[in-house]
Amino acid sequence: MAKVVHVHLFSRPRGEVKDYYFSSIAAVYTVLSAEEIGATLSYLQHAGLSGNGSIATKKAIIKQATLHSKPTQKKRSR
């Protein structure tokens, strides 16, 4: 199963709330800065996000979960 990292930002200008989805913790920092999230890459890597954990900062909630998908079906021979 694949994992997904969900970043819920609530410390945006004018009270905007925004959600982002990433394939890894490191990928978060290609779009958002540590200042925007309120945590560094090193902190998130050691904070216990694995196993469907979550971390709350003053600026965001970061969650890691399992991404479920439909299994592929084998094609039948004709």
- Specify the number of domains making up the chain: 1
Structural domain contains residue 6: yes
Q: What is the pLDDT of residues 39-74, one digit of tens each?
A: 999 999 888 877 788 999 999 999 999 888 888 887
Q: Dihedrals φ, ψ of 15, to 5°?
A: 70, 20
Structural domain contains residue 77: no
| Distance between CA atoms of residues 16 and 36, nearest Å | 13
Structural domain contains residue 75: no
pLDDT for res 13: 67
Structural domain contains residue 27: yes
Structural domain contains residue 20: yes
Structural domain contains residue 76: no
pLDDT for res 78: 66
Structural domain contains residue 42: yes
Structural domain contains residue 73: no
pTM for this structure? 0.80
Residue with tokens 């999230």: 37
Sheet containing strand 18-22, strands side by side: 18-22, 2-9, 60-67, 54-56
What is the chain's mean pLDDT, rounded? 87
